[in-house]
Structure 1
């Protein structure tokens, strides 16, 4: 199978990963301050300074105003829609994705201006900061700030613009002064808000699909409101995010972020099928099998070259390898795609050179895979209260994640349970015992640890700074999180 990154998704099992070495940026190949953490794997770094005990501290102002800033972007004329759309932003979430954007933006600022010329950094982008001139052949089409309209307000809303305040055009509080102090470009700040909106929209949709009843320690959106309202609110968030994406006025970043939305849907469809072992043209309709209508041929459809459609093989090892590839690819689409592309977008907006942009992408990809693999592990080890949502839910939903796949490698008969999505009485209990017997959780932890190492290596392309140290600490903490 050709992966989305042409072979960069590693295989699973004892050979599931090859250590990648990040390219070192000229003049910035100093030894990472967290080398010890890399060598000792899961052990969390104890920073020399208390100010790094919380990565949020470096960007505390931006993070503390995140929900308020997002609220200004998602305002609607309908009060109930406003209520549903803002529901998940009210609860305390991890906010990992905007945190990555902000910390990475500060870390990229430490690269000399002379080495950040991949695009023009527009005067409106940098406000009080110097104007970084890019090469004549690689210019941006920025031109305006993230709050300026592209189309007339009357066109956007379809009503008299004098009677409505455009929620996407409100100026941010004291933006130039904040940028001059912190070195985070306005477009990078807006990027942080956009990615959290996209992520939250996916949570609203996921909770409907997974029939969840809790999220962030309280009733999920579909329970607090209705399935229909939760779906519509998620759609609304994606619509508002799309407008904000367009106003970044950078074609490459627009392409990256728009692709993440499509990736989320592709990943969800992969999860509906769940395994490469199923080749029947049926779909699950809330417990009932439904046959997929045959194509008429009027609309030609071509699978992507990275499509995962490996049929069931008579060879057990081949089946397990294919299942791991399917699992990792689904994980990339559902989780790592957004983290990788937001990291790349932050680097693009900074004007950094290609090697830095690529390593930022790989950092987000490896961190995203690590994050979701740990999440899958926690589903087997944590209580409902610890993770703020139902635990041990993956098997009940018929999902074959890393712990059970590792057990399947050692116990071939588990393949039948995986193929039928643990639907028969006793399947879930058999699977849980197998995971415990064959150390599925510990092998999953080692898998996550390897991705963590690779993410840290990618960060070595950046010059040493407080922000890079905070990113390294954040990366290590993913392995030791309990929720």
Structure 2
């Protein structure tokens, strides 16, 4: 599939259609397990976020990987719900850390309730996710998903320490992305192969696919922030700059900066003293140093890594959709 085709084909919608019955079971399990007899605020806060929409890509990756590998039991539904609970918990915590007031076009839980509720409900969802993991009876599944949860938390702390620090390198950026985004993508696909009892090389291919897909996904998001169309993305151009986030295009631009340009980045990113015209200056510098095209090439490279890993799996209609999905996440920046 060409990148132009991927833009219009929307493989995530084909994936959702193929997995509709399984996703209905996942959603039912999520509603069941987010209930609380003694603390009604838990389902209130969880429902606000879970029912806000979103592509549900992570749980669909688990379902797709399991079906691709020929799994015929029920544990893929439990694991897909587990993955969604982990993801939702991290979103609740992220919004508190980032002091966000909006997600998916709606007020965040911490704004509607308070920070304490968001943190504690996030903790509850993490606990629920571990209960679901153990329901599978698989130590390998428990190891993979618990490692992912630890890696996500580690990535959040690393991002906190790297924030607004011009010494942040591309290597540190990749560590953050692997923690915040790719770890759960990789675990979501890997456990699908594990519960199907597939050979190690196939499980490794699923893990590699998820890792590379997550990195490509995040780099594409970085690019859309500096070169996207706000009407198409629904996001304001330059939000990362305003929030002083060191994304790949900004890191590449800072690395190529002369003395005057570096002084600009010290003032706007490190010290946070931004003026109205600074965003346009930042975008001009990013274009000047070719950081958009360089980041785009890297995102496409990670997409190719994901596609090549998926080609190591058996022939299946879902295999092709997952390959197309790797094209789709970067087609947005073509």
TM-score, structure 2 length as denominator? 0.89
Task: Give the 3 Å change call, closer, same or farther, for CA 219–382 of structure 1 in structure 2.
Answer: farther
SS at match of 2:192: helix
Query: In the alignment, what sits opposite 1:27?
Result: none
Using the TM superposition, give the Cα deviation of residue 325 of structure 1 relative to its aligned residue in structure 2, in angstroms.
Answer: 0.2
* Residues 101 and 192, structure 1, Cα contact 8 Å, conserved in 2: yes
Bigger relative contact order (CA 8 A; separation at least 6): 1
Selected match of 2:324 from 473, 476, 481: 473
Query: In the alignment, what sits opposite 1:345?
Result: 191
* Residues 51 and 57, structure 1, Cα contact 8 Å, conserved in 2: no
Whether 2:40 is the aligned partner of 1:69: answer no
* Residues 208 and 309, structure 2, Cα contact 8 Å, conserved in 1: yes
Q: How many residues align?
A: 327
CA distance in 2, matches of 1:46, 1:385: 16
CA distance in 2, matches of 1:86, 1:368: 25
Using the TM superposition, give the Cα deviation of residue 432 of structure 1 relative to its aligned residue in structure 2, in angstroms.
Answer: 2.8
Whether 2:43 is the aligned partner of 1:82: answer yes
Selected match of 2:56 from 80, 95, 104: 95
1:317-355 deviation line (CA, Å, top 9, x unaligned): xxxxx7000001110011101111222111111111111
CA distance in 1, matches of 2:184, 2:105: 24
Query: In the alignment, what sits opposite 1:367?
Result: 213
* Residues 370 and 448, structure 1, Cα contact 8 Å, conserved in 2: yes
Query: In the alignment, what sits opposite 2:124?
Result: 236
Using the TM superposition, give the Cα deviation of residue 457 of structure 1 relative to its aligned residue in structure 2, in angstroms.
Answer: 0.1
Selected match of 1:464 from 303, 315, 320: 315
CA distance in 2, matches of 1:383, 1:221: 28
Query: In the alignment, what sits opposite 2:289?
Result: 438
* Residues 225 and 239, structure 2, Cα contact 8 Å, conserved in 1: yes
Selected match of 1:425 from 264, 274, 278: 274
CA distance in 2, matches of 1:233, 1:389: 27
Query: In the alignment, what sits opposite 1:455?
Result: 306
Task: Give the 3 Å change call, closer, same or farther, for CA 51–379 of structure 1 in structure 2.
Answer: closer
Selected match of 1:406 from 252, 260, 268: 252
> Highest CA radius of gyration, 1 or 2?
1
SS at match of 1:54: helix
Task: Give the 3 Å change call, closer, same or farther, for CA 431–389 of structure 1 in structure 2.
Answer: closer
Root-mean-square deviation (CA), in Å? 2.7
Within-5 A mapping of 1:13-412:
37=2, 42-45=3-6, 54-77=14-37, 78-109=39-70, 183-274=71-162, 323-382=169-228, 386-387=232-233, 392-412=238-258
* Residues 12 and 57, structure 2, Cα contact 8 Å, conserved in 1: no
CA distance in 1, matches of 2:274, 2:7: 47
* Residues 165 and 270, structure 2, Cα contact 8 Å, conserved in 1: no
CA distance in 2, matches of 1:83, 1:240: 16
Task: Give the 3 Å change call, closer, same or farther, for CA 396–335 of structure 1 in structure 2.
Answer: same
SS at match of 2:270: coil
Task: Give the 3 Å change call, closer, same or farther, for CA 421–432 of structure 1 in structure 2.
Answer: farther
SS at match of 1:424: coil
TM-score, structure 1 length as denominator? 0.63
CA distance in 2, matches of 1:468, 1:348: 17
Task: Give the 3 Å change call, closer, same or farther, for CA 437–209 of structure 1 in structure 2.
Answer: same
- Any stretches of 5+ residues in structure 1 without a counterpart? 1-33, 110-182, 279-311, 313-321
Using the TM superposition, give the Cα deviation of residue 470 of structure 1 relative to its aligned residue in structure 2, in angstroms.
Answer: 1.3
Using the TM superposition, give the Cα deviation of residue 459 of structure 1 relative to its aligned residue in structure 2, in angstroms.
Answer: 0.6
1:295-314 deviation line (CA, Å, top 9, x unaligned): xxxxxxxxxxxxxxxxx6xx
